[in-house]
Amino acid sequence: MHLNGETAVNACIQLPDQDIVLMYLRLTFGGKPCPSERGAISETVCDLANALLSTPEWDPEELFNPQSLELPEPIFLSDEVEF
C-alpha cells in the first residue's frame, strides 16, 4: 500500500536531538477511504516493522533500502528560531 508522497512527508516528525526522522507507519486519514481496510493493512505493516527491529539477525548496516542513501542531509533550524 502506498501513500501520496506529500501525505507521507506530512506524517514525518524530526527529532534533531536524537538525529532521526520518524514516519508514521499507519495510513493517515485521506490515505485510504475505508478505515477498516486501512487499519488491517497498517497494523500488519506496523507489526512487521516492529518484528524486524527486534530481530537480532537483522543488521540494518547490511540489509537496508538503497534509496535511503539518496536522502539529503537534514537542514536544522538555528537555535535562535523560537519553537
Instruction: Kindly state whether residue 40 falls inside one of the protein's structural domains.
Output: yes
**Residue 31 falls inside a structural domain:** yes
Structural domain total, the chain = 1
pLDDT of residue 27: 59
Residue 42 lies in a domain: yes
SS3 content of the chain, % helix, strand, coil (to 5): 35, 10, 55
What pairing do the DSSP bridges indicate for beta strands 12-15 and 20-23?
Answer: antiparallel
The domain in which residue 52 lies consists of 5-70
The verdict on residue 80 lying in a domain is no
State mean pLDDT over 39-53.
81
Task: Establish if 57 belongs to a structural domain.
Answer: yes
Residue 61 lies in a domain: yes
Share of the chain above pLDDT 70, in %: 70
Q: What predicted TM-score, i.e. pTM, was given to this entire model?
A: 0.36
For the record, the C-alpha cell of 15 comes out as: 527529532
Instruction: Identify whether 76 is part of a domain.
Output: no
Measured CA distances, 44 to 1, 19, 39, 56, 58 (Å): 11, 27, 8, 20, 19
pLDDT tens, 26-42?
Answer: 655 555 555 555 566 77
